[in-house]
Homo-oligomer: A and B are copies of this chain.
Amino acid sequence: MSSTLGNLFKVTTFGESHGKGVGAIVDGCPPGLALGEGDIQPQLDRRRPGQTHLTTDREETDRVTILSGVENGRALGTPIGMSVANKDQRPGDYADMRSVPRPSHADYTYQMKYGIRTSSGGGRSSARETIGRVAAGAIAEKFLHEDYGIEIVAWVSSVSTITADEVDENRITRAEVDQTAVRCPSGPKADEMIRAIMAAKDDKDSLGGIISCVCRHVPAGLGEPVFDKMEACLAHAMLSIPATKGFEIGSGFEGTRMSGSRHNDPFIKKEDRLGTVTNYSGGVQGGISNGEPIIFRVAFKPPATIGKSQNTADFNGNHMVLEAKGRHDPCVVPRAVPIVESMAALVIADLALQQRARKHY
């Protein structure tokens, strides 16, 4: 499917950093949904660079234009075309990289795959590609919130070796997350993270981190066995975000160390539904949501493009020393928070529509 994700709520993105623009087509948005550019812009603003001193200095305004599929503030049910213009291209920054593939970046693999690549390097692996995802995800979120009251909140739970304090997944809000520049809701740890990122920036180096995400009020029954389990679709969506290296849901890797008798989540009556006492399952059982919060974590590696000099080789295998020019995020996790939320929304919206299609006799 390449640049298309989803079965019923479907998004197709386009665009690299070098062309005239980036964007997406969302096909399958429920008709009549109240929708406008104002529903989309806030998440784009949270995603764009230049918000704080933690990110690249590039100023990108990233204003979205809806081209189709909406009239008089209502979705028509037809494809919603959206575009965001590219500005501030400095191809000169990339001149060195034409002959020297950046280590751990996509320059080399794009060349091997396509036999051609953009002058700016890894083409679609550019962070700007994620604009289309965030725009589409904002629409999915609007639908999920209107219909189910679903709330999706992601936050930075670690930067490098600095781990945030426990967060109450039942209550955490985006407002709380946005209180610190690093989008970590535990204040003192956030300060530590910020200092670490600034130090890495000064050092022309970069840092990785982990984003946690909770999806609340997802009704029981979403997720398609066998291959489109909720967690499988979430993992797919998250590992499709640039720079990700891992995904875990509920107890995750740590849960492998527990016994079944401790790990099992006992059922208990919760108001009008059956709930669970604990939530090691992370809100899914057998690939299907069980009504508890869906909780997962995504690992982001340190960005590959760094100013620090690196010993490497050019395309011909000759030894080279590379110092990447240009402006690069020393740590992507603060800006990746809305991307994680958007991808989660796209997955859940698609599975919600699929379940809606299922008639029970």
Contacts and interface: CB of A to CB of B under 8 A. Distances in A.
Contacts of A83: 67, 81, 83
Interface stretch (A52-60, A182-190, A199-207): A199-207
Contacts of A286: 105-106, 109-110, 122, 125, 242
Given A246-B249, A258-B301, 5 more contacts: A20-B66, A122-B286, A226-B240, A229-B239, A232-B239
A326 interface: no
What number of copies of this chain does the assembly contain?
4
Contacts of A70: 19
A357 interface: yes
A96 interface: no
Which residue, of A28, A227, A248, has the highest number of chain B Cβ atoms within 10 A? A227
Given A77-B116, A301-B255, A106 B288 contact: yes
Enumerate the 5 nearest inter-chain pairs by beta-carbon distance, A residue then B residue, closest first. Answer: A106-B286, A32-B361, A269-B317, A206-B260, A246-B248
14 contacts: A3-B227, A8-B8, A12-B12, A12-B79, A14-B80, A16-B68, A21-B81, A30-B360, A79-B124, A109-B284, A109-B286, A208-B258, A245-B253, A258-B302
Nearest to A309: B261
A334 interface: no
A49 to B, nearest CB: 17
A4 interface: yes
Interface stretch (A39-47, A166-174, A217-225): A217-225
Which residue, of A4, A18, A113, A265, has the highest number of chain B Cβ atoms within 10 A? A113
Nearest to A70: B19
Given A239-B232, A256-B300, A266-B310, A226 B3 contact: yes
A209 interface: yes
Contacts of A81: 14-15, 19, 21-23, 83
Contacts of A313: 266-269, 274
Contacts of A105: 285-286
A21 B21 CA distance: 15
Contacts of A180: none
Given A12-B79, A116-B76, A208 B255 contact: yes
A246 B247 contact: yes
A222 B110 CA distance: 10
A36 to B, nearest CB: 13
Interface in A108-148: 108-110, 112-119, 122-125, 129, 143, 146-147
Contacts of A117: 76
